[in-house]
Structures are given as structure tokens and as C-alpha cells.
């Protein structure tokens, strides 16, 4: 099982470390004027920010743009940003083709540096002085430009916030804080089930394509899956109530990194049904949603559609029960109320139910956005 604490950071009060930073050797380095780092001593005269990261670590990947901006702001200064992972070099080479990374990217498959720094979680970071002194343990998203400039000037003073660390490492500590975002991606086990709330998403032992479609918020037949990496898997996402979509985006990154896949939109011309206003003589008009009715779809799929929503939202819900994609072509604005039932699996009977509400499914052909799920290409 892989557990990702996506943004659980807390301050650990501590005094500035006066000891020398542990030595390390990095056998392979990308994005650097050197192909390897033979020792920390070889970087003497430069401030080093050593970050432990991984492609499967969502907050690590999400934090890359911030680090890139920090590197740009310190251009020309005697500082090295060294991001180290223990993943295979070919995997990192492929990852760097699709992600802009301005730090030196080190590959330490032997885990010698991770062992030396007792690394047990990602992201994790250490600020090291020009003389090799360990100045502080700093979460990468807590590192400030002023911290680095103070280190260059030899006047850095560690503060509690400069020694923040990932709470997943010491979750058993009585001082541990509560994770802001938490995701778990694991091999399939247990009874199949799915649930979603305002601040959580859980899928247990569900088919690969179904879980991917659920996380990305599309219909399963919108996916073009080239080669599923697993048959089933489980996933759980927990977020603050008002940050679910932010957490979902981090989960998307984590899933892609975990399985070594890319999920990209792709337009494809295909046969569709256009949800249209009925042109039959004497046909009723769709009923407007009364203000007293709560917005939302209460039932969809399996021959039932009940709720108050916009027409694009109803079209998406109808797609669940249709043999073809359903796109809104009504041109109607605002929310409407529908309460329809039809024979499950019958497009014709669904059309009959819609006609009673002043709507129709008209066959057509349109460009539809699909999602292609493909393995990351390796060299």
C-alpha cells in the first residue's frame, strides 16, 4: 500500500543544528553541469538545498513550479537546488520530458543519501551551508528566498518554522498535526464499493477504468485506455470541506505518477445524441425548476432521471444510461426540473420519457472530448 500525506506540515521547535551535514553520493544527475555528485564536499562554497522527492509524491510534483521560481530569483548566486529520488533513471528521464524542472535532479537508486538523512517521507528538505554545516530541516514549500540569501551571507538562524517537516513521518507523535490533504492508493482488496462526499472520495477494489473515470469526473466510455497497469485498485482522498477540487487535482497527479501513466484529453469525432427541445406539434415545454426546489440530481442511471439542474448537467447524466454520448443542444439557460423513468438499456424508451417533458434525443455526429490513458513512454 502507498500512503501519500499530500500537505501535512507542522512546525517542530528546535535549535539550529551546528553539526556537519551527512555526506552523500549521487550516482546520476540530470539538469546539471555534472553527471554525478561524488560528495557533499564537492559542492563546498555553495549553499545546497537538498530535497527528497518522487514522481509518485503529489505535493512534490505540485511544488516544482514554486521551486523553479525560487531558482530563477536566485540566478547567479552560489546555491544548488538538488532534488533527489530513488526511482529508476529511465523513469526520471521520461518524467523530465513532460515536466519543467530547474533543480538538479539526482537519482540515488542505492538510497545512500536517503539513508544518511533518515528519510522516511516525501517531500523533505535540508538547507546546508557553504561550509557543509546542516543549517535546518525545511519542508520545500516552506523554504523562502530570504532563508537562502541568509545562508549565502552566513547569517541564517534556524527558527521553528524553518524546521517544518512532513507529519506523516511522525504521525504517532503527540505533537503531530492533522493532515490537510491525505490520499491512499493501494492494491485492490476487500469488498467493491464507491462513495463521495463534500470532503472525501473512496473507491475500494474497483475496476481500473471505472476509478479513473470517477476521479476525472467523466463517463467510463469517455476513456481510451491503451493498457491498464492493474485490473483493480483502491483509492481514498480526504480533504478540508472547501478544498475538495484542489485535492482531486493532486490525486490525479498522484495516480498518474503511481501507475506511470498519462491521462490527456483527445478530441474524437463520434456518433452522439443531441439533447434538444422537442419540435413535435403540441409538445410541452421543459418545466423550469421552482426556486423552492434544491438544486442537484437525486437519481440518474439505470432508467431514472430525477432532479433540478441545467440542461448540460442533465445531458451528462443521460450519458450514463445511453449507448452514445449525450450533448446538450437545447440552447436553454437556467435550471429545469425532470422526473423521468424508462426501460433500462432502451434508448427508444428513454426518448419516449423525454418527449413527455418536451425534450428529444436527436442522432448526430460531433467532436467529443475523450481522455486517453497511456503508459509513460520510456527511452
Within this chain, do residues 40 and 132 fall inside the same structural domain, yes or no? Answer: yes
CATH number at residue 73: 3.40.30.10
> Which of 170, 201, 232 is the C-terminal boundary of a domain?
170
Residue 277: the pLDDT is 96
Within this chain, do residues 200 and 153 fall inside the same structural domain, yes or no? Answer: no
Residue 298: the pLDDT is 81
> Which of 196, 229, 259 is the C-terminal boundary of a domain?
259
The answer as to whether 217 is a domain residue is: yes
φ, ψ of residue 198 to 5 degrees: the values are: -70, -20
Within this chain, do residues 223 and 244 fall inside the same structural domain, yes or no? Answer: yes
Within this chain, do residues 273 and 250 fall inside the same structural domain, yes or no? Answer: no
Within this chain, do residues 277 and 334 fall inside the same structural domain, yes or no? Answer: yes
Query: DSSP for 170-183?
Result: GTTSTT----SSEE
Within this chain, do residues 55 and 134 fall inside the same structural domain, yes or no? Answer: yes
Residue 378: the pLDDT is 62
| Contact by Cβ (8 Å): 376, 95 | yes
Integer angstrom CA distances of residue 90 from 78, 109, 110: 30, 11, 15
Residues of the chain with pLDDT under 70: 1-18, 158-179, 378-379
The answer as to whether 264 is a domain residue is: no
CA R_g for the chain: 26
Residue 137: the pLDDT is 86
User: Residue ranges of the alpha helices (H) in the chain?
Assistant: 58-62, 64-73, 89-96, 112-116, 145-152, 208-216, 244-259, 311-319, 347-355
Within this chain, do residues 85 and 131 fall inside the same structural domain, yes or no? Answer: yes
Within this chain, do residues 26 and 113 fall inside the same structural domain, yes or no? Answer: yes
Half-sphere exposure of 82 (CA within 13 A, CB side): 30
Q: Which residues contact 16 (CB under 8 A, 6 or more apart)?
A: 135, 136, 156, 157, 158
Residue 153: the pLDDT is 95
Within this chain, do residues 214 and 353 fall inside the same structural domain, yes or no? Answer: no
Query: Where in the sequence is the domain holding 251, given as residue range(s)?
Result: 182-259
- In this structure, the strands spanning 79-85 and 47-52 are parallel
State the total domains in the chain: 3
Residue 10: the pLDDT is 26
> Which of 236, 259, 282 is the C-terminal boundary of a domain?
259
The answer as to whether 234 is a domain residue is: yes
Q: At what angle are helices 64-73 and 145-152 packed, to 10 degrees?
A: 40
**C-alpha dihedral (305, 306, 311, 314), degrees to nearest 10:** -40
Residue 293: the pLDDT is 83
Question: pTM to 2 decimals?
Answer: 0.48
Within this chain, do residues 216 and 99 fall inside the same structural domain, yes or no? Answer: no
Residue 282: the pLDDT is 92
Within this chain, do residues 156 and 45 fall inside the same structural domain, yes or no? Answer: yes
Within this chain, do residues 216 and 293 fall inside the same structural domain, yes or no? Answer: no
Residue 242: the pLDDT is 78
Amino acid at each position: 500500500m502507498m500512503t501519500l500525506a499530500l500537505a501535512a506540515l507542522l512546525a517542530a521547535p528546535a535549535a539550529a543544528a551546528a553539526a556537519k551535514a551527512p555526506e552523500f553520493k549521487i550516482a546520476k544527475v540530470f539538469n546539471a553541469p555534472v553527471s554525478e555528485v561524488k560528495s557533499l564536499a564537492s559542492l563546498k562554497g555553495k549553499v545546497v538545498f537538498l530535497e527528497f522527492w518522487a514522481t509518485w509524491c503529489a505535493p512534490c510534483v505540485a511544488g516544482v513550479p514554486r521551486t523553479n521560481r525560487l531558482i530563477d530569483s536566485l540566478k547567479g548566486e552560489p546555491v544548488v537546488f538538488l532534488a533527489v529520488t530513488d526511482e529508476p533513471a529511465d523513469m526520471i528521464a521520461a518524467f523530465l520530458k513532460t515536466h519543467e524542472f530547474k533543480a538538479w535532479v539526482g537519482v540515488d537508486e542505492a538510497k545512500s543519501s536517503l539513508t544518511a538523512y533518515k528519510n522516511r517521507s516525501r517531500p523533505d528538505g535540508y538547507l546546508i551551508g557553504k561550509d557543509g554545516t546542516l543549517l535546518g530541516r525545511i519542508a520545500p514549500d516552506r523554504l523562502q528566498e530570504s532563508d537562502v540569501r541568509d545562508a549565502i551571507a552566513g547569517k541564517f538562524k534556524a527558527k521553528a518554522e524553518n524546521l517544518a517537516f512532513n507529519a506523516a513521518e511522525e504521525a504517532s507523535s503527540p505533537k503531530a498535526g492533522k493532515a490537510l490533504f491525505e490520499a491512499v492508493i493501494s492494491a485492490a482488496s476487500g469488498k467493491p464499493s464507491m462513495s463521495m462526499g463534500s470532503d472525501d472520495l473512496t473507491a475500494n477494489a474497483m475496476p481500473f477504468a471505472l476509478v479513473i473515470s470517477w476521479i476525472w469526473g467523466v463517463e467510463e466510455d469517455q476513456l481510451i485506455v491503451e493498457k491498464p497497469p492493474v485490473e483493480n485498485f483502491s483509492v481514498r482522498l480526504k480533504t478540508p470541506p472547501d478544498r475538495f477540487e484542489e485535492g482531486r487535482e493532486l490525486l490525479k497527479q498522484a495516480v498518474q505518477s503511481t501507475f506511470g501513466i498519462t491521462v490527456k484529453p483527445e478530441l474524437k469525432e463520434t456518433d452522439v445524441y443531441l439533447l434538444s427541445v422537442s419540435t413535435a406539434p403540441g409538445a410541452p415545454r421543459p418545466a423550469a425548476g421552482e426556486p423552492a426546489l434544491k438544486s442537484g440530481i437525486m437519481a440518474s442511471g439505470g432508467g431514472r432521471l430525477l432532479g433540478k439542474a441545467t440542461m448540460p448537467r442533465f445531458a451528462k447524466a443521460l450519458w450514463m444510461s445511453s449507448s452514445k454520448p449525450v450533448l446538450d443542444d437545447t440552447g436553454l439557460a437556467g435550471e429545469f426540473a425532470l422526473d423521468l423513468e424508462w426501460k433500462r438499456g432502451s434508448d427508444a424508451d428513454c426518448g419516449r420519457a423525454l418527449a413527455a417533458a418536451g425534450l428529444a434525443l436527436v442522432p448526430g455526429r460531433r467532436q467529443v472530448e475523450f481522455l486517453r490513458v497511456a503508459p509513460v513512454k520510456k527511452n
